Amino acid sequence: MTRPPVPQGNYVAAKRHGDLVHTSGMTPRDNGVLMFTGRVNPGAPVESYQAAVELATKNALTSARLLLAPHERVAGVLSLTVYIAAESEFTAHARLADFASAYLQGEIGDEGIGCRAAIGVASLPGNAPVEIQLIAIVASHQFLP
């Protein structure tokens, strides 16, 4: 089983309301340890940040999945927000966010692609390069064709 993300403050990793699960912002941590640090550099290939984006996205999806009943699944993503701590000259925010979208599509299918915002920020908790927040749609397995 995948380990749940460890909150770094006074909050919960995810909260459910009806058929929606909202996650907190997730950074690229493994068992509470930040695995990637530093601001995104415009001179580096965007692929050098793919693992950080995917880990943060995995943490958000894991947080959502941990709130599901045994007969439920994450059926889609309603909204995805990708925060990127980047140097001011960096302009490829959408390309980094595409790594998060591709990860979700690989895990969920085409319904893993939802509305999205890619936002550049001055800094993120712990000096993380990225932070992912999503709203997941929950469905019951019993209604699958």
Q: Is residue 64 within 8 Å of residue 43, measured between CB atoms?
A: no
Work out the average pLDDT over 7-16. 88
Phi, psi for 66 (deg, rounded to 5): -70, -15
Residue with tokens 């940040």: 49
Model confidence at 3, pLDDT cuts 50, 70, 90, reads low
Model confidence at 1, pLDDT cuts 50, 70, 90, reads very low
CATH number of 14-143: 3.30.1330.40
What pLDDT, on a 0 to 100 scale, did the predictor assign at position 143? Answer: 53
Q: What residue spans of 44-109 are helical by DSSP H?
A: 50-65, 93-108
Q: What is the pTM for the complete model shown?
A: 0.93
C-alpha–C-alpha distance, residues 31 and 3, integer Å: 7
Where do the domains of the chain lie? 14-143
pLDDT tens, residue by residue, 16-65? 999 999 999 999 999 889 999 999 999 999 999 999 999 999 999 999 99
Residue 126 scores a pLDDT above 80: yes
Model confidence at 7, pLDDT cuts 50, 70, 90, reads confident
Whole-number percent of the chain with pLDDT over 90 = 86
What pLDDT, on a 0 to 100 scale, did the predictor assign at position 32? Answer: 87
Please enumerate in sequence order all residues whose Cβ is within 8 A of that of 43, keeping only pairs 6 or more positions apart, or say none.
none
C-alpha–C-alpha distance, residues 100 and 12, integer Å: 21
